[in-house]
Amino acid sequence: MEEEKSKGEKRLQVNDYVVGSLPTVIYIPNFITESEQSQLLRHIYEVPASRWKFLKNRRLQNWGGVVHEKGLLPQALPSWLTKITQRIGQQTGLFPLPINHVLINEYLPDQGIMPHQDGPAYFPVVAILSLESPITIDFTPHPRSKEFETPMENKDSTLYESASGQINSPSTESTDSPKDEHHQFSVLLMPCSLLIFKDQAYIDYLHGIEDSESLSLDKVVNISEVIKLKELQNPCGSLHAVTSDVTQDIGQNNIFQRTSTRVSLTCRLVLKDSAC
Ligand SMILES: O=C(O)CCC(=O)C(=O)O
Ligand SMILES: [Fe+2]
């Protein structure tokens, strides 16, 4: 992989990591090592219990300050987080300023996050680091893409907005069908991986995780990760079938059963600092 040096960190050629048909969805496997994952998890679970905010179907920690319409009421990120956010900034080169906001979401196997947009408070690039267990994140064209809508009604919007401190535009639970079913896709997020989505994927798509213990691999665009997952689930299984006919194998067994907790770090940049 072609790489160049940038401020002590190797700059990745992010275009080499584009998955699916949108050029603005980037998936980097093994962005951190397993030992870095363990260190992060240790920090996450060592914080005082009061750091956790409980939502209807998951809990989260908010780091960096409170996000509201006027911008961010900033609070410095702890060093165990800046270690990783600086690396994301330097290796991807996709953030014009240091990442200043991190949400840590914890999902039990039957928990997810409803389809939503992250909204205009953030610079339109999101980096999501996945820890502990795999999950699929689904992208759906916004029913009214191109224009930013405010929420009308949704399952957990009140809790989500107040407790997470972010300005979100969750899906409206409307019966509108997406503009083009064929443009729905999923990305399989393995532990230690980094997902980045930006621009069109940020603005014209909703993203979400089903609150179900069974996740479909049908629409996954990063197929090589599906193969890895199947190897993990069935190390002595029919590997030859996987390598000889990937599509057929995925078609035969395309449900992934979640059995353990997943933790994610959503790393973003709030451009407006409301303290200024
Ligand atoms: O946990 C994830 O992968 C998604 C989190 C997310 O979409 C958010 O925090 O806005
Ligand atoms: Fe999000």
Distance CA 148, CA 202 (A): 11
Q: Is the ipTM of this complex over 0.90?
A: yes
**Cβ of 154 less than 6 Å from ligand 1:** no
The predicted structure's pLDDT at residue 247: 41
Is residue 20, in this structure, part of any structural domain at all? yes
- Cα(33) to ligand 2 centroid in Å equals 24
**Cβ of 207 less than 6 Å from ligand 1:** yes
Is residue 274, in this structure, part of any structural domain at all? no
Distance CA 227, CA 211 (A): 23
Is residue 275, in this structure, part of any structural domain at all? no
**Cβ of 113 less than 6 Å from ligand 1:** yes
Is residue 42, in this structure, part of any structural domain at all? yes
What stretches of 181-276 adopt beta strand conformation (E)?
A: 185-189, 194-198, 205-209, 214-216, 255-257, 262-268
From 99, 105, 202, 215, give the residue whose CB has the most ligand 1 atoms within 8 Å, as the site to mutate. 105
Is residue 242, in this structure, part of any structural domain at all? yes
**Cβ of 264 less than 6 Å from ligand 1:** yes
Is residue 217, in this structure, part of any structural domain at all? yes
Q: 3-state class of 174 per DSSP?
A: coil
Domain containing 134: what range? 2-268
For residue 218, pLDDT beyond 80:
yes
Is residue 130, in this structure, part of any structural domain at all? yes
- Cα(118) to ligand 1 centroid in Å equals 9
- Cα(115) to ligand 1 centroid in Å equals 10
Question: Would you state the structure tokens that stand for residue 177, as one six-digit string?
Answer: 């069908």
Q: Under a CB-based contact definition with an 8 Å cutoff, are residues 114 and 170 in contact?
A: yes
Is residue 273, in this structure, part of any structural domain at all? no
Q: What is the CATH number of the domain that holds 130?
A: 2.60.120.590
The predicted structure's pLDDT at residue 36: 98
Q: How many structural domains is the chain composed of?
A: 1
CB atoms within 10 A of CB 9: 16
Query: pTM value?
Result: 0.83
pLDDT digits (tens, 9 = 90+) for 126-146: 999 999 999 999 999 998 764
pLDDT digits (tens, 9 = 90+) for 166-178: 434 444 333 344 4
If you count them, how many residues does the chain have? Answer: 276
